[in-house]
Structure 1
Amino acid sequence: MGFDQQTLENFLHLGRKHPYLPFSIHLFDNLPSTNQKVWQLVDQGAKPGCVVIATQQTAGRGQWGREWISPTGGLYLSVAIAPKLEVTNNYQLTLASAWGITSQLRNYGVSVGIKWPNDLVLDGRKLGGILTETKVRQGQISQAVIGVGINWVNPVPETGINLKSWQATQNFHPMSGLEMLTATVLLGIESGLKCLHHEGISILLSRYLNLLTNMGDQVYVNNLLGTVIGVSPQGNLRLKITEDDNNKLMTPEISIEPGTISLGYCKNSV
């Protein structure tokens, strides 16, 4: 694959003073799924911090079982972790990863935001996504795999955008290549998990909401019009419902679980 592991290792070394995850990098040209490969390696004894990167995936998965098209030119990686979380809080891993990756990219001047619950958006279009899978033991998440796909130079659908093309429209090029982008994503996952485990969900959630592009959006749910006012600690979307459009009578807010509704993309975003 056209990917230099030493360059990646150098970027990781430069970017972390206090390592939280002992990254162990495994590169592949072609895989059905990086998440699937990490689970196989974990079953064979791989430790937390095991990272699998593929040039392309033939059976990549997105949220809710959707196919994730993964042609050459994109970033496809998965990392194993061993969180100590109640199973009811499993979505906090996705919130942490989304915030961490987004904030790391923004540190380089990439004006990316988060679309609830797990998409990275740039200029209103999808730049990437996150898929978290877990194994549970006695009500606790014993193992988890965080999978990330980011569009770099790969072709994208009308509602997508790739980072290399976006950089070409800017006066600067914050990401020098796929290795730097990969290091940025891994450092983002690491910083998000550190925030969750050391500072707690309330601080993490406030940071996540600061980068959420959906705040104030209006959404129809069961023929009711709601306004996005936040996200719960479990990852649910919080909506304030307008019951009567004429007098703006407000009912108590409702909570929508991930996967219940889609907030969509604007195909003609600029």
Structure 2
Amino acid sequence: MKFNRQILETALTAERKYPYLPFNLQIFDSLPSTNQTLWNLLNQGATSGTVVMATQQTAGKGQWGRQWVSLQGGLYLSVAVSLEIAATQSYQLTLATAWGIARQLQKCGVSVGIKWPNDLVLEGRKLGGILTETKVHQGQITQAVIGVGINWTNPVPDTGINLELWQKAQNSQFIPCLETLAATVLLGIESGIECLTQTGISHILTGYIDLLTNMGDRVYVDNLLGTVVGVTPEGNLRLRTTAYDTTEAVISEISVQPGTISLGYQKSLV
């Protein structure tokens, strides 16, 4: 499977009246890691808006140092972004990207949601994920690489789902080819980053929470049962907890940082 550059560029041009990121497409058949390749290009002088794409990764990276299984037939891409944002707010990039991509996919008829903090889900199963890496100087992010993986035709585990088979089950062709999917994802990243830069996190956070599939979930943190009620601007999960003393219930709220707990998926029945 190879990308058709002309189809991809045509899809991007048709949807971008006022481009925000100057996409410079670097297309490969297979790479160890699109994120790492992009960092190498940045070190050689590449600029914001550079995109590295592949349909297979041999050493893909997920969150918390996990391996991202990236078999042939998926969409794997990374985008370079230059912006000024405090290092403590780095997860806003992930929130903005997840919201932007999910919203763009929904415009194409794909009923995708977001699983906190960085996964795209369809019918309760993982469709894709986001890995944001940054460089920091004096407490400010100076450069970021946003990596995205989306299941297209590649094999997936029981907790995963690929988009082409889902579309066939829906008897529809919302997204007809890998190039259209790539354009949709890039447009989503662009819209998310543009909104974050121009209006801040508040608007994005409202939309992100609207798409959050974990709302109302009950989870244990340090033997304390909490109910998911939202996400903070820093990307932490908000949990409402209830404790009991001898006379009454005490309701409070705590926030949990990404990586502290893991929220599960449904398993495929097909």
TM-score, scaled relative to structure 2? 0.97
Amino acid in structure 2 at the alignment position of 1:201: I
The offset of 1:244, in angstroms, is 3.8
Equivalenced residues, count: 270
The offset of 1:54, in angstroms, is 1.1
- Spell out, residue by residue over 1:202-244, the C-alpha distance to the aligned partner (whole angstroms, 9 max, x if none): 1110011111011111111111110001000000000001224
Q: Contact conserved, 1:152 with 1:163, CA < 8 A, in 2?
A: yes
Change in CA separation of 1:113 and 1:40 when aligned onto 2, cut-off 3 Å: same
Q: Please name the residue that 1:215 is paired with.
A: 215
- Spell out, residue by residue over 1:76-118, the C-alpha distance to the aligned partner (whole angstroms, 9 max, x if none): 0000000210000000000000000000000011000000000
Distance 1:86 1:142 in 2: 9
Q: Please name the residue that 1:158 is paired with.
A: 158
* Counterparts of residues 7-46 of structure 1 (less than 5 Å): 7-46=7-46
Change in CA separation of 1:219 and 1:248 when aligned onto 2, cut-off 3 Å: farther
* Counterparts of residues 12-91 of structure 1 (less than 5 Å): 12-91=12-91
SS at match of 2:195: helix
Change in CA separation of 1:248 and 1:96 when aligned onto 2, cut-off 3 Å: farther
Change in CA separation of 1:248 and 1:230 when aligned onto 2, cut-off 3 Å: farther
The offset of 1:173, in angstroms, is 1.0
Amino acid in structure 2 at the alignment position of 1:183: A
SS at match of 1:29: coil
Amino acid in structure 1 at the alignment position of 2:184: T
Percent of pairs with identical residues = 66
Change in CA separation of 1:71 and 1:171 when aligned onto 2, cut-off 3 Å: same
SS at match of 1:148: strand
Q: Please name the residue that 1:205 is paired with.
A: 205
Q: Contact conserved, 2:55 with 2:74, CA < 8 A, in 1?
A: yes
Can you give the 5+ residue segments of structure 1 that lack an aligned partner in the other structure? none
Q: CA RMSD in A?
A: 1.6
- Spell out, residue by residue over 1:45-71, the C-alpha distance to the aligned partner (whole angstroms, 9 max, x if none): 001000000121010011011110001
Distance 1:269 1:205 in 2: 32
SS at match of 2:144: strand
Where in structure 1 do 4 or more consecutive aligned residues deviate above 4 Å?
245-248
SS at match of 2:235: coil
